[in-house]
Amino acid sequence: MKSIAKLFFIAALLQCSRFDRIQPVEQTAVMMDTVVQIAIYDNQRSVAEVEKIIESAFARIKQIERITNDYDDSSSISRVNRVAGWQPVAIDSELVTLITTSERIARLSSGAFDITIGSVKRLWQFTSEHPSLPEVVAINQALRGVGMQHLRLMGDQLRLAGPGVVLDLGAIAKGYAVDEAIRVLQRHGISDAMVNAGGNLRTLSSELTRGLRRVWIKHPRETHRFFGFFPMDAGCVATSGDYERYFVLDSVRYHHILDPKTGYPARGCVSVTIVAPSAMEADALSTAIFVMGPERGLTLIQELPGVEGVIIYEQQGKLKWLVSEGLKDKFRTI
Ligand code: AMP
Ligand code: MG
């Protein structure tokens, strides 16, 4: 059972709100298998008005959850997974956006990011009380359905190569939901806000908070500590970490970010934080770069305009980190 306490624990990023000038109107909800926090800074509207706006942003996230949640048999993605291996399926524009972006990030990361990982992920029991390792033969069998070449999207028609191909949007959907929630807030005239869905975060900034906001990166090995921070007024950030969903067997940590080449957890990094032009891209890229590992990951970050990052990895039991050019002067460890 996933308790709320556990869900709080997996939130990878927290925004510091030591704003002396104004207190935000803030609400949290459990959605998309994580804790979603919305904070609004506004000195024009009443609290009741702001709360109504937050409600509509939550409603938008709920809509996206109903499309992308593969634990829900009635979601769009579950229907796609049941049917598209047999015949083409017409999908809605939200799924087109998510799949098209996923195809782009898969290409950029040379296959490290791969939403056809679903068949393998189903074998791993990251949420079980008594997890065990999947059988090697089962992983090898499931890997036959992994690879973006097994997915064809033409217009709104999606076809999967067979019933063994299973889509999993777990590495990108939360970021998209954060972007959409921010759009709802903007449509209501909000200009200073933060939406954080389990470490996928986007902020809007006005003079109310300018120069005051910091993004904190959780310490990947010490639950109640932060590893470091950087200042950010408005922007999009996501963290992928091996401490978010995992189990330990015979002193080995098995976590939820899987290498599509092997079907086993990716071993190069322990935490990857990415700044990107959208929360959807930050979400997908943090997973992609986690799988690519520190060196190749940093190279990709440096190549992409508007993308920055902090990569934490382990070497001989010690934590090391790499920071991209654009964050070098801003990032501080604590
Ligand atoms: P995140 O926390 O954003 O890094 O996403 C991790 C989730 O994405 C996992 O729980 C899986 O549902 C899915 N996933 C795992 N490995 C990959 C991968 N290599 N590419 C795309 N999605 C993945
Ligand atoms: Mg991700």
Please give the single-letter amino acid code of residue 307: V
**3-class DSSP state for residue 26?**
strand
Nearest CA to ligand 1 atom 2: 240
CB 122 within 8 A of CB 166: yes
Pocket test for ligand 1, best of 113, 245, 256, 292 (most atoms within 8 A of CB): 256
Closest to 214 (Cα-Cα) out of 19, 43, 59, 63: 19
pTM (2 d.p.): 0.93
What pLDDT, in 10s, does the model give residues 13-72? Answer: 444 445 556 789 999 999 999 999 999 999 999 999 999 999 999 999 999 999 999 999
291 close to ligand 1 (CB < 6 Angstrom): yes
| Nearest alpha carbon to residue 112 among 277, 311, 300, 309 | 300
CB contact set of 141 (below 8 Å; sequence gap of 6+): none
Confidence band of 1 (pLDDT split at 50, 70, 90): very low
9-30 pLDDT, tens digit per residue, is 333 344 444 555 678 999 999 9
Q: Give residue 25 CA to ligand 1 midpoint distance, Å.
A: 32
Q: Which residue has the tokens 């997973």?
A: 287
Residues whose CB is under 5 A from ligand 2 (ion)? 171, 283, 286-287
Number of H helices, E strands in the chain: 10, 17
- Interval 126-174: pLDDT, tens: 888 888 999 999 999 999 999 999 999 999 999 999 999 999 999 999 9
Beta bridge partners of 26: 39
